[in-house]
Amino acid sequence: MPPIKLMLADDHEIVRAGLRMLLGAQSDMEIVAEASSGGEAIELAQTHQPDVVLMDIAMPDMNGMEATRQLKVRCPSVAVLALTIHEEQGYFFQMLDAGASGYIPKRAAPEDLVQAIRTVHRGEVFLHSSVATVLVKDYLQRGGAVTGADLSSLTEREREVLTLIAEGLTNKQIGERLGISPKTVARHRDNITKKLALSSRAELTRYAIQKGLIGLSDE
């Protein structure tokens, strides 16, 4: 099996050097490009077509959220893993809305980062335990209330589509997974957003997390 092709996007050379040392030692990973700004990350991703991009949020030229949004438009198959010092839920949901498949703080253990890369490469969502704690606190502060209609309002197919949307798949990828056309996926998505009164991917992902539709890695 070919190694996971990685691109590092961080404006600090010392951070990239540490990542090179850690990830370069993994037999199933290969670093194919490095970027020091959001704009450079978009250009290099189109050239090198990495499987996973480790994206910092605070970068010059263009922040990681906007870079992720543009990258997912131009390279939809690339999985983006946010690697950042920010652990507030606001950043987490903004990155998810931009198209990221995972979120891990820079203070995390090296083995957590390696696990996160493998997880998002499999098409799953990775959420570090520290961020999960913040989301649980937010959920409890809301009194356990979940925005959106009851899950029973969705058909079985709509639940499947919602789960895959929350896992970061595009309409085309969802269609391939379920054996339906992208247009049919789009129609299901429209029905879901109308029934739940939710619009953005971040809102749909929050709903899926709180309803237990997706299993998030917290190791």
Each domain of the chain, given as residue ranges in start order, spans: 4-140, 151-197
| Predicted local distance difference test score (pLDDT) of residue 214 | 67
Q: Is the pLDDT of residue 52 over 90?
A: yes
Return the pLDDT at 219: 44
pLDDT digits (tens, 9 = 90+) for 141-200: 554 445 556 778 899 999 999 988 877 777 888 999 999 998 999 999 999 988 888 877
For residue 140, pLDDT over 70 is answered with no
Q: What is the pLDDT of residue 143?
A: 47
Question: Distance from first CA to last CA of the chain, Å, rounded?
Answer: 25
Task: Return mean pLDDT, the chain.
Answer: 85
Per-residue pLDDT at 64: 92
Candidate ranges 14-28, 128-142, 193-207; pick with highest mean pLDDT: 14-28
**CATH of the domain spanning 151-197, picked from 1.10.3720.10, 3.20.20.80, 1.10.10.10, 1.20.210.10:** 1.10.10.10
Per-residue model confidence (pLDDT) at position 215:
55
Q: Provide the 10 A C-beta neighbour count for residue 5.
A: 18
Q: Which candidate, 150, 152, 155, 156, places its Cα nearest to that of 198?
A: 150
Higher per-residue pLDDT: 90 or 146 = 90
pLDDT, position 218: 44
Residue-wise pLDDT tens digits, 36-45: 999 999 999 9
Q: Sign of the CA dihedral 146, 90, 124, 71?
A: positive
**Residues 15-20: what's their mean pLDDT?**
95
Contact 50, 70 (CB under 8 A): no
What does the alpha-carbon distance between residue 72 and residue 32 come to, in Å, rounded to a whole number? 18
b/e string for 82-119 if b means 16 or more Cβ within 10 A? bbbebbeeebbbbbbbbbbbbbbbbebeeebbbbbbbb
4-140 homologous superfamily: Response regulator (3.40.50.2300)
Report if pTM > 0.75. Answer: no
Lowest pLDDT segment from 2-6, 163-167, 206-210: 206-210
